[in-house]
Chains A and B, each alone.
Chain A
């Protein structure tokens, strides 16, 4: 198992600045599934819909779900609303 630190942005800030999930592999799809389980564990399934529309990033690169992360930290980006 690998520990991945998820940095929270936007609506996910309600969960704190970051949290950690454990994954079997470093794919973004696995991280997304682990975050979904985390939301269930902490009783925040109201954020599940936001999670489905969110994207993960590593550094300054947005990641598709089939990608794998090279490090142990990702950012979780909900739908954007600048302006």
Chain B
């Protein structure tokens, strides 16, 4: 089941999708006749990590919390940058070469679109309740370490 949240006024769209993310057509979602720049970021599963070969990543997600965190993240980014923004993240299995996260940002000028896309992926990695289980070529599996959400 895919889950999406859309901000009133349609400044942003964010969501979770089962399996790999599509990388085409994102530009249409942020198009605005007043915007002269669109910046896009695709996070793609690579075939190696920390010296080990990888075949895929299985993404575990807390859907309710992740959608809330993504919405708050979009609120923050749209408060800092005058952009339209789309963020979609995968859950479940994503194989090498497939996209696990896609971000698209548009703005009147390129600096804001580039800044927003960069800030969005930086913040996503440390704020959104998503976990990676890396699957090796020999089907060996390991959970990857991450950023603690604990505040006390």
> Which residues of chain A have a CB within 8 Å of any CB of chain B?
9-11, 13-14, 53-55, 57, 59-60, 62, 64-66, 75, 77-83
A81 touches which one: B66, B125, B151 (CB < 8 A)? B125
In contact, B62 and A81 (Cβ under 8 angstroms): no
In contact, B146 and A60 (Cβ under 8 angstroms): no
Closest CB in chain A relative to B132 CB, distance in Å: 5
Closest 3 CB pairs of A and B: A81-B146, A82-B130, A10-B131
> Which residues of chain B have a CB within 8 Å of any CB of chain A?
43, 59-60, 62, 64-66, 68, 89, 100-101, 121, 124-133, 143-152
A83 touches which one: B64, B100, B129 (CB < 8 A)? B100
Given A11-B143, A60-B64: A55 touches B100 (CB 8 Å cut-off): no
Q: How far is the CA of A53 from the CA of B149 in the complex (A)?
A: 8
Could you give 23 example pairs across A and B, Cβ below 8 Å? A10-B60, A11-B143, A14-B143, A54-B148, A62-B65, A65-B152, A75-B62, A75-B65, A77-B62, A77-B65, A77-B149, A78-B143, A79-B149, A80-B126, A80-B129, A81-B144, A82-B66, A82-B89, A82-B129, A83-B100, A83-B101, A83-B121, A83-B125
